[in-house]
């Protein structure tokens, strides 16, 4: 069996809303191996955003254990968590989050600037990542000169540029039409075939089915489905 890149054991997270305690994650356990393409699916309020925040080191659980590449995330301070987010996790968002005054290439370079990487090395790596997503010819274009699908490809390239341990994609096709969504999912599958570990958060069953493995989160609890056993009726 391959070594887990992520090992989550019995994570619990609660929130207080209007004087009531809501359990967002209820003893969630999950193993993700190197090179996996995992989809986490669930409706609004199911706990999937909370779980994404845990995996992305944006929030901490009250109890349980989260190991990322054999490092115990739960015991890290804020500076250590920031370093993990910058070096080990490539974030891909629904709304791209590109800086409008920077070119595609400059947007991709940005995480490397925070790491103090020199100009020549930075540019070389950014160009390589744009090439991986099939957008090298648009390197000098501003976001406003790119289609939604092209902007998301730039965002994916930016997520790749630090060579992270995992790509964490939060509804990456949510702002795109069905044709463009399909193109973006093909890019993601191509990256997975190159060996990248991808965790995809979505509410869309058709998108989730393109991953190699699906887990569902419902009322803060995790369920796993094998092969073709997952159907729309079983999700909601």
Q: What is the mean pLDDT of residues 69-75?
A: 92
| Per-residue pLDDT at 54 exceeds 50 | yes
Q: What is the mean pLDDT of residues 200-225?
A: 92
pLDDT of 18: 85
Q: What is the mean pLDDT of residues 209-235?
A: 75
| Per-residue pLDDT at 103 exceeds 70 | yes
Q: Could you tell me the pLDDT band of residue 16, with boundaries at 50, 70 and 90? A: confident
Q: What is the mean pLDDT of residues 190-207?
A: 93
pLDDT of 37: 96
pLDDT of 13: 94
Q: Could you tell me the pLDDT band of residue 2, with boundaries at 50, 70 and 90? A: low
What whole-number distance in Å separates Cα of residue 217 and Cα of residue 223? Answer: 6
Q: What is the mean pLDDT of residues 37-61?
A: 91
| Per-residue pLDDT at 11 exceeds 90 | yes
Yes or no: say if 182 and 208 are a contact pair by the CB < 8 Å rule.
Answer: no
Q: What is the mean pLDDT of residues 121-148?
A: 95
* Residue from 46, 68, 70, 47 nearest 57 by CA: 68
Radius of gyration, CA atoms only, the chain:
18
Q: Could you tell me the pLDDT band of residue 231, with boundaries at 50, 70 and 90? A: low
| Per-residue pLDDT at 226 exceeds 50 | yes
Q: DSSP labels for 8-30?
A: EEEEEEEEEETTEEEEEEEEEEE
List the chain domain ranges. Answer: 4-235
pLDDT of 236: 44
pLDDT of 161: 95
CATH class of the domain at 4-235: alpha beta
What predicted TM-score, i.e. pTM, was given to this entire model? Answer: 0.90
pLDDT of 7: 95
pLDDT of 124: 96
User: What is the rounded average pLDDT for all residues in the chain?
Assistant: 90
Query: 76-96: buried (b, 16+ CB within 10 Å) or exposed (e) per residue?
Result: beeeebeebbbebbbbbbbeb
| Per-residue pLDDT at 160 exceeds 70 | yes
Strand extents, DSSP E, the chain:
4-17, 20-33, 37-41, 63-68, 71-72, 89-92, 166-170, 197-202, 213-218, 221-225
pLDDT of 224: 87
44 or 129, greater pLDDT: 129
| Per-residue pLDDT at 225 exceeds 90 | no
| Per-residue pLDDT at 87 exceeds 70 | yes
């Amino acid at each position: 069996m391959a070594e887990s890149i992520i090992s989550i054991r019995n994570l619990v997270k609660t929130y207080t809303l209007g004087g009531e305690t809501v359990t967002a994650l209820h003893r969630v356990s999950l193993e993700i191996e190197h090179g996996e393409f995992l989809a986490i699916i669930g409706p609004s309020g199911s706990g999937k955003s909370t779980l994404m925040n845990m995996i992305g080191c944006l929030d901490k659980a009250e109890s349980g254990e989260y190991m990322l590449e054999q490092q115990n995330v739960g015991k890290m301070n804020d500076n250590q968590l920031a370093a993990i987010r910058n070096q080990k996790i490539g974030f891909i968002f629904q709304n791209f989050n590109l800086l409008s005054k920077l070119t595609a290439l400059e947007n991709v370079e940005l995480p490397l600037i925070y790491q103090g990487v020199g100009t020549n090395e930075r540019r070389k790596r950014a160009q390589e990542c744009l090439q991986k997503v099939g957008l090298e010819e648009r390197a000098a274009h501003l976001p406003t000169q790119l289609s939604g699908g092209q902007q998301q490809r730039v965002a994916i390239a930016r997520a790749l540029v630090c060579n992270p341990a995992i790509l964490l994609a939060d509804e990456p096709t949510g702002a795109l039409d069905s044709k463009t969504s399909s193109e973006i999912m093909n890019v993601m599958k191509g990256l997975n075939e190159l060996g990248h570990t991808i965790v995809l958060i979505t509410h869309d069953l058709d998108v989730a089915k393109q991953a190699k493995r699906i887990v569902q989160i419902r009322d803060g609890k995790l369920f796993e489905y094998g092969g073709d056993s997952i159907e729309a009726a079983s999700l909601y």
